[in-house]
Structure 1
Amino acid sequence: MKVVILGSGVIGVTNAYYLAREGHEVTVIDRQPEPALETSFANAGEVSPGYSAPWAAPGIPLKAIKWLMMKHSPLVIKPSLDLSMWAWSLQMLRNCTPARYETNKGRMVRLAEYSRDAIKALRSEIGIQYDERSRGTLQMFRNQKQLDAAATDMAILDRFGVPYELLDREGCINAEPGLIHVKEKVAGGLRLINDETGDCFMFTQTLAKAAEAMGVEFRMGVNIRRLITDQGNISGVETDQGVITGDAYVMALGSYSPLLLKAVGIKAPIYPVKGYSITLPVVDSDAAPVSTIMDETHKVAITRLGDRIRVAGTAELAGYNTDLNESRRETVEFVVSDLFPKGGDISKTEFWCGLRPMTPDGTPCVGATKIPNLYLNTGHGTLGWTMACGSGRLLSDLISNKQPEIDTEGLSIDRYAA
């Protein structure tokens, strides 16, 4: 079967690899000159199935109000008349109930755990390297209230058999020795021991070369204009370089997916949530992070990537604006300086932003659509790197008419119709 994949981020490239492995003829198209130059370029570097959780959670509406008044806020909302933003926000608020949170987190953990196993298998298959480390994620709490609230997540982790450790201050410092310099700021933490880290850009570019060696064609620098329909199916993709055709089509354009889907009658509740990161060189390895620390107060992740530190965070609702906001730089710089003041050289940071494709319930849209030959692999939010291999493998199985290795309940866009 000839499969056309729209998008060459980590989602599109992993899907291309698994489809090629099944013997399909695969073409990937993207406007960028190389794979992984947008949202996959400088993300937090986490492969964190244990930390997979929807932003829509009980108590979030009240927290959001408090966040908006913080100097270094995890949330920024730009005043806008964008109706899609407000509709998406209302859908998200509807998911902030205990029952929906448990359902949504369960779906996300199921896919993320499968994905983590898939990336391990992939390392064995092709020996791919990407500054990877398997040292876990430490969700760090600055106060007792945050520590107490972890009980809800631990119950869900128990239900899915996800191993973790609840740590006191000394336990956190044993896991991340660099925190010894700021131990008074640490109340405790939840350590997700099977989580991993790595450079998503390096991974995606390397896997793209492996996929190309298997016969995948990458059509780069191609601007996609629209999907062409004929008698209820997709008959081609209109681009600025002509029409590209296939037997099946995979939408993996992240935040831009809804713009093309709307024209073919599919309403995908995916909204771009802008995130920022800085990357800085390590100057003192003993005072730098070992793996990933998630600062629960500021919702900022600090990740070790070889001889670099990646610091990522902030959720900014500003539509498709990709301008770099200096005040957001101040937030991520503050957190890394506050927790690892001697670890990296803050004067040599590289500043970046990307648009995370968020669904209102946190779970991506992976699966078939009402159009028989159109499939979705999009809406992964902050967890595209975490869920990429599992999503690509699962969708490859569906397209190949094979039984997926995990339960697909609640993963397709059909859940919104329900």
Structure 2
Amino acid sequence: MPLFVVTMLASLLVTLGAPQRASAAVTDYRPATYNMQGGDGKWTADIVQIINHGYNVIALQEAGPRPPGSARLEWTSPYLTGNDQWNGWRVQEWLWRPQGQAADWHIYFVRTDFGGNRVNLAILTRYDANQVHIARPAFYGNNGLPTSRPALGITIGNTLFYTVHALATGGNDGAQLVRNIAGQAGSRIWAAMGDFNRDPSTLQIERGMHKYVTNEPTQQSGGELDYMVTNQRIPGYGAAAIGYGSDHYAVMFDVLRANAGVSLYNAHDGNRNIEVESRNATTYGSSIVVRSRQAGTWGHFLFVPAGNGNYTIRVNQRPPGTKQQCLDAVDSRLRRYPCDGTDGQLFDMQYWDDTGQLRIRSVRRNTCLGDDTDNGYGSEIVTTLSCSKGEGRFNFRFDRDPDGSAAAVAF
């Protein structure tokens, strides 16, 4: 029987036992988030696929009325106490053996939908959490009852993970809910994942917090709503969105890896992507330019380790029988030439102070790539930019889910 410890007012804290591991970093795990649009058969279809991609801490929203039918109820916490006007939340732990898994996984589940019993919160993980938390919701009515949802959290080792589902009417509770999570976590590393129901650029966070996003829509309607906020600054961290059976895409978080194809977006110029100007495979020396906000065929690249912490940036697209092309800083404009291993094709990936953004330094020139104009579509990328200038910021977008076993791009 687990030991229950309930804190007053702000949160429910359930102590379950000794930590499974002593680490304290988001990157010690492979987190993901998914709005399941009601759960049901998605547990045995979509969730199993996410697990098979190697993700092991999965924040779930709209998780349905209960975990999958084959799950076994392990324990139920006491009701949240300390607030005389609300005692409706209690956390359950279920054990579930997903198809193809050799051991049980843990589902931490809280009912937040007392009407339709569909829009509930859960966290699925292969780790046995040593604490469970309920972070106080942002809004209460005059009667003292909550008018927004709380967040469900767990502690694994010394890292706290939360699942968040902000209000569907624009997510105006998200910023306060994140502050409540931060207050509950104190000095510990925490990450809040979920459906914030607003674009990440409009979610106001405090100093020391960071957003990690896909830089692309996470819902079929086109909005980018699902992402992570954490108090850990993680160089080269990003997310990939993958569609399954819900109206939201599953969003999977990882560091930039050498095997993961990416598209690059100029943060200074409306987040337009960069790509090869001339599509003719025999046109060596083609400029690399800023184009639209969606990467075209010639706007996908691969970071390939070249030793000493440097990388070549290869153009993914090439017709059969043609040489592999690399980005080249041989002159003041970034161009495409056959890969030759010279220092003009070597780049050092650096982390910009803004969350999730890169600056790319030319080893040959000791300057950075960037856009020194405001001309928009068709602007060429220069190789001579001072690395301290904001025009040298790039967002990246994964072309596919990165393989967690591949080497991380070093910063």
TM-score of the aligned structures, taking structure 2 as reference length = 0.22
Q: Which has the higher strand share?
A: 2
Bigger RCO of structures 1 and 2 (CA < 8 A, at least 6 apart): 1
In our comparison, the structure showing a higher alpha carbon Rg is 2
Q: Which has the higher helix share?
A: 1
